[in-house]
Amino acid sequence: MTAEPNGAEEEITIEAKEKAEKAKEEANKLFQAKKFESAIEKYTLAIELNPNVAVYYANRSFAYIKTEAYGFAVADADKAVTIDPSYVKGYYRRAAANMALAKFKDALRDFRIVVKSAPGDKDAKAKLVECEKIVRKADFERAITVDTSKKSIADTLDINTMAVEPSYDGPKMEDDQISKDFVEAMMETFSKQTVVHRKFAFQIILAVRKMMLETESLVDITIPQDAKLTVCGDIHGQYYDLMNIFAINGLPSENNMYLFNGDFVDRGSFSVECILTLFAYKWLYPKSFFLTRGNHETDDMNKVYGFEGEVKAKFSQQMFELFSETFATLPLAHVINKKILVVHGGLFSKNDVTLEDIRKIDRFKKRQPDSEGIMCELLWSDPQLMPGRGPSKRGVGIQFGPDVTEDFLRRNNLDLLIRSHEVKDNGYVVEHNGKCITVFSAPNYCDTIGNKGALINITPDLKLDYKTFEAVPHPNIKPMAYASQFGGLFM
């Protein structure tokens, strides 16, 4: 990945130093133009020419953060502060990357170093205070968690006591049942930046939770002869782009089936609207609308990337806790017509994983995934070009090569892997000799990347048709608007 500093500083020629500086300046311009992958290549060239400069590593660390390669970002920040222990920006970059990985205590140590070195930096001080709050809260929650069988939020809710005030003029359910008219009226309400009554929101979440508690970790999907199935990747709280998907590809129905492959929330500031719409359609069409858990349907991610703050702002902490419980019930994988496996992240660190192993995962026992193991890898892993396996650029999960994909598919009698989890310029990419497809459905991700979104239509005979689309306008609320002090770290 990089040239390694060798303890004692290497002797570098003046010519190499000048070329390294030129590469860094070119990288900085690419970074400003939001061409982060190209910037990484130039920073890498600068490092290869002169591996003794802390700023090269810190700058590349920031570019890795922009591409969500947080594991690589931490490694580069480590190198920056090893070369120059007084280089404050290196500690700041490492803190940001560790925050992104929900390694709050590691981030806290670096924020303290930054604030000690630059006591007048109000921004750093605010981030330190916020990080301290998160760590204290996490420690408190661990301290009081002595009984894993404690009553769930779902069991404490009494929907019948939630009155719908006469002044409420939004959509209403008839006889506490979901209907096509209600869902479409709710979506129109969301489009006008108004939320539905909390009673109806709670009913939608509770209905999906009950449904998912009766669902296996691996779900089998059969596409009827008169139907099609559309697979969508990450939408990340981009509600108006979700509405555009339905506009160009049709509203969900028994014959217009959908599978949304995780990361419904976080980053985008309309995550509540996205998840309630998806949950409502799951309730309305339980046998033709499917949802996979992504790595952002987890508490740690929701604390950092905005969903918790958004739910609290639009509804309540109690509702966020119910969402958390419900996210933990979502299935981890789907198999289409016994031949196409769909997961959010990717494959595994072991060779012998079977579909039955996935089916048997007890996701209810462990609500939040560990940092390793099958469940973690399903949510976090990424494909790589070279054969074999490698450490994850994200710092969680693994990277797996074309040979790993082909071996897994062969042993499980499958034809294809579809996954999401990574932004792609054209919305999708086909890799691993056509055996691994990434689909990403959040165009102009975070209002900055400029990528297209994509979806995949699949017919009963398993023919794939890709549709790509551009971002559509949305109200002037920036991504990460509910992410407290940390929004700017990842934008």
30 — pLDDT class (breaks 50, 70, 90):
very high
Annotated active-site residue 296? The verdict is: yes
| CATH 3.90.180.10 matches 154-489 | no
**Tokens coding 293:** 């858990």
Domains in the chain: boundaries: 14-144, 154-489
Give the pLDDT score at 489.
59
CB 59 within 8 A of CB 28: yes
- Catalytic option among 236, 296, 334, 344: 296
Q: 367, 491, 489: which is closest to 99 by C-alpha?
A: 489
User: Which pairs count as long-range contacts for 151-158, CB under 8 Å and 24+ apart, including other chains?
Assistant: 152/325, 153/318, 153/321, 153/322, 153/325, 154/206, 154/209, 154/322, 154/325, 157/202, 157/206, 157/318, 157/322
What are the tens digits of pLDDT across the range 73-127? 999 999 999 999 999 999 999 998 998 888 889 999 999 999 999 898 888 888 8
- The backbone region for 338, taken as left when phi is positive above 0, alpha when psi lies in -120 to 50, beta otherwise, is left
Among 10-19, 184-193, 239-248, 430-439, the least confident range: 10-19
Q: 235, 318, 237, 322: which is closest to 272 by C-alpha?
A: 237
What are the tens digits of pLDDT across the range 441-485? 999 999 989 999 999 999 999 999 999 999 999 999 999 999 865
Among 248-257, 351-360, 444-453, 476-485, the least confident range: 476-485
Fold of 14-144: 1.25.40
pLDDT of 148 strictly over 60: no
Output the CA–CA distances (angstroms, integers) from residue 214 to 10, 209, 364, 408, 437, in the order listed.
61, 9, 11, 28, 29
What are the tens digits of pLDDT across the range 287-324? 999 999 999 999 989 988 999 999 999 999 999 999 99
Q: What are phi and psi of 466, to 5 degrees?
A: -95, 135
